[in-house]
Amino acid sequence: MQRDPRAFMWDVREAALAIQSFVAGMDLTAYAANAMAQAAVERKFEVIGEALNQLSKLDAAAAARIPDLPQIVAFRNQLIHGYATVNVSTVWNIAQNALPSLLDAVQALLDELQ
């Protein structure tokens, strides 16, 4: 049985919200000093990348509406497979600068498909 594409979008939204809560009140220095926060954020980025990868296989039209989807999946692969070392400031910058627009895009799709 195939999973509903909205479930993957929900996974992305929930992981993104979790990341935002994990880093709330932190700056880069505090984040860099907190190994638990780093591990939690990276894990949630892995969830996001995997959910979007699965969404792209199940519903290409919906996936095409997610900005930078290929880069997000590639980032997940870097985190999991270590193709390239991902430094703390890169993860921090993505969480601060790219995550809000991803969250907005996914929420808009979910609202439309509800």
pLDDT, tens digit (0-9, with 9 covering 90-100), for 10-21: 999 999 999 999
For range 11-36, the mean pLDDT:
98
| Tens-place pLDDT, residues 38-93 | 999 999 999 999 999 999 999 999 999 999 999 999 999 999 987 667 899 999 99
For range 107-111, the mean pLDDT:
95
What number of residues does the chain have? 114
What pLDDT does 82 receive? 78
What pLDDT does 17 receive? 98
This prediction has a pTM of 0.94
For range 4-11, the mean pLDDT:
95
DSSP 21-59: HHHTT--HHHHHT-HHHHHHHHHHHHHHHHHHHHHHHH-
